[in-house]
Amino acid sequence: YDWIKVADSAQLSMNYFWSASDKVYLNSNTSSAWGNYWPNAHALDVLVDAYIRTPSPALKARMDDLMTGVRAKNGNTWLNYYYDDMEWMALACLRAFQATNDNAYRDITNILWTDIKNGWSSDLGGGIWWRKDNPSKNAPSNLPAAILAARLYKQFNNADDLDWAKKIYAWQKTVLYEAATGWVYDNIDKAGTKNLTWKFTYNQGTFLGAALELYKITNDVTYKNDAIKATDYAVSSGQLTSNSVLKDEGGGDGGLFKGVFIRYFTKLIIDGDLPADKKQAYTAFIVKNGQSLWAKATNKSLILFNTAWDKMPGNSTDLTTQLSGVMLMEALATLKKLNLVD
Q: What does the buried/exposed string (b/e) look like for 250-269 if buried means 16 or more CB atoms within 10 Å of the residue's CB?
A: ebebbbbbbbbbbbbbbbbb
State the average pLDDT for the chain.
99
Confidence of residue 221 (pLDDT cuts 50, 70, 90): very high
CA 323 from chain center: how many Å? Answer: 10
CA angle in degrees (0–180, nearest 5) for 34-54-329: 60
Share of the chain above pLDDT 90, in %: 100
Q: End-to-end distance of the chain based on CA atoms, in angstroms?
A: 8
Closest by Cα among 77, 211, 238, 56 to 147: 211
Share of the chain above pLDDT 70, in %: 100
Each residue's pLDDT tens digit, 264-293: 999 999 999 999 999 999 999 999 999 999
Cα–Cα distances (Å) from 157 to 16, 76, 152, 153, 210, in that order, read: 40, 30, 7, 5, 17
Residue 331: the pLDDT is 99
Q: Specify the DSSP element, H or E, that contains 113.
A: helix 103-117
Confidence of residue 188 (pLDDT cuts 50, 70, 90): very high
Each residue's pLDDT tens digit, 63-113: 999 999 999 999 999 999 999 999 999 999 999 999 999 999 999 999 999
Residues 10 and 70: their CA atoms lie apart, in Å, by 22
- DSSP SS3 for 121: coil
Residue 223: the pLDDT is 99
Query: 35-295: what fold?
Result: Glycosyltransferase (1.50.10)
Closest by Cα among 7, 5, 40 to 266: 7
Confidence of residue 25 (pLDDT cuts 50, 70, 90): very high
Indicate the domain borders of the chain: 35-295
Q: Read off the pLDDT of each residue in 168-193 and give the average, rounded to a whole number.
A: 99
Q: Read off the pLDDT of each residue in 55-70 and give the average, rounded to a whole number.
A: 99
Q: Specify the DSSP element, H or E, that contains 130.
A: none
